[in-house]
């Protein structure tokens, strides 16, 4: 009886772990995380586009962006 109970607990635990592993989440992946502009003249306008993609299984929502 104890062996069956233990086996059932193991099966339930593995099943729950498998469900958690399959959770659909967004995953943001950047081409690069920083840009070095080198030497910059004061007053010069600089522009750079950070390219990224959602490699996850769910919709990626960007709610806030701040310069670092």
Q: Is it the case that residue 17 has pLDDT exceeding 80? A: no
Instruction: Please report the pLDDT score of residue 24 as a whole number.
Output: 93
| pLDDT more than 90, % of the chain | 60
Which residue's entry shows tokens 């099966």?
A: 11
pTM: 0.55
Give residue for tokens 């030497």.
Answer: 39
Asked if residue 39 lies in contact with residue 15, where contact means CB atoms within 8 angstroms, the answer is: no
Task: Please name the residues in contact with 32: beta carbons below 8 A apart, sequence gap of 6 or more.
Answer: 50, 51
Higher pLDDT, 68 or 29: 29
């Amino acid at each position: 009886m104890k062996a069956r109970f233990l086996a059932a607990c193991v099966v339930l635990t593995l099943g729950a772990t498998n469900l958690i592993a399959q959770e659909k989440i967004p995953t943001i992946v950047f081409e690069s995380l920083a840009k070095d502009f080198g030497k910059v003249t004061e007053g010069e306008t600089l522009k750079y586009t950070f390219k990224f993609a959602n490699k996850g299984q769910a919709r990626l929502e960007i709610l806030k962006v701040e310069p670092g």
